[in-house]
Every structure is written in structure tokens, then in C-alpha cells.
Amino acid sequence: VAAIPGPAVPVAPTQTNSFGIDNLELMHKFSTDTYKSLCLSDSEITIWQITVPTLAFKHDYLMGGILALASMHIATTCEPSETALLYHETGLQYYNRSLTPFRNAIDSITPQNCNAVFAHSIVMIAISVASPRLTATKDECASITENIVILFELLQGVKKILQVSRSWIKLELFKQGPYWKSTPTELDPDT
């Protein structure tokens, strides 16, 4: 079948964000691949692939978080290293851009924003896991320890968000996880 000739129409360049990476590319990566890394069970697939991106259209901090995570995900898989660095930097910039509005949302959790706050807190954990792996070297033992402490603190934050807004949250994540149901125990000083 021959192609029907038509007028030559110049293709407009894709709209890019201020970081130079196309938002559509990052959203596509998140909704086709990255979301899978957040699913603990098959019951969470629809939540991470469809519900959370839909929430992100209403909550800028969540959009920034999922675009950051997708950008960092691309950074782990692309060559050459200059390209990976560009995606990693873009991810960090989206992450940084999401922090202030996220803090503001945490200060005033409501039934209208609790799902986005909860989802973003989980995305932040994923970003904290992904980011050090992209920049770590073999001799960064102290840095790795610090990252583990930060990760633990972020997990405690997610748990507190869940405890504060449990009756409002409609996202069925971690339904059977005992971590979210138990109360933290104090460590002895030697630990």
C-alpha cells in the first residue's frame, strides 16, 4: 500500500520542561514500567499505574515525585553516562521542586489530599533508594549508613501519615503488611 502524499508540515518540537526532559516521556516511563517497582502485589497495579498518576494531575508535588522517579529509573538504564547524568539531575530537580508543596500538604492533611500525600511519601522512599545507587562509589560506607537511617525515617513518616489519615485514605496499599499496624519499639542505648 502506497502512502498518500500530503503537504509537508513541519513537526513542532515537543514541549519540554525547564529541565530539558520531556514530561510526556517521563509520564510514559512511569505508567508503563516504573510503577511496577512500587507494587507489592497484583492488587496494587491499577493503583500505581492509573490512580496515582490521575491524582498527580491535581497535586503538583505528586506529579513532581513520579516524574522524578521515572527520570531516575531511565538514568539507571541508559548509556552513555552523560545521558544518565542528565536524567538523574532532572530527577533530583523534580524531587526538589516537590518538597515544599509536599511539606505544606503534610501540615494540612485532609480527606481531599490524603491519598496524594500518602502516595508521594511512598514515592519519596523509592527515590531515596534509587538516588544513592546512581551516585554511590565503593568507598562510601558512611554515606550508605546515612542513607539507611534516612530511609528508616522516611518509612516512619509514611507510617505516621497513614496513622493520621487512615480513615480517609482510599488507596489500598500495604493492606496486609504488619509493619504499618505495629507500634514502634524503643531501641536500647547500646543499639
pTM: 0.70
How far apart are the two ends of the chain, measured CA to CA in Å? 73
What number is the average pLDDT over the span 121-140?
69
Output 56-63 pairs: Cβ under 8 A, ≥24 positions apart. 56/116, 58/116, 59/101, 59/105, 59/113, 59/116, 59/120, 60/98, 60/101, 61/98, 61/99, 61/101, 61/102, 61/105, 61/116, 61/120, 62/98, 62/116, 62/119, 62/120, 62/123, 63/98
Q: What percent of the chain has pLDDT over 90?
A: 35
C-alpha cell at 17: 520542561
pLDDT class of 30 with cuts at 50, 70, 90: very high
pLDDT class of 172 with cuts at 50, 70, 90: low
- pLDDT reported for residue 176: 43
pLDDT class of 6 with cuts at 50, 70, 90: very low
pLDDT, one tens digit per residue, over 107-121 is 888 889 989 998 999
- pLDDT reported for residue 41: 81
Highest mean pLDDT: which of 20-34, 52-66, 100-114, 154-168? 52-66
pLDDT class of 20 with cuts at 50, 70, 90: low
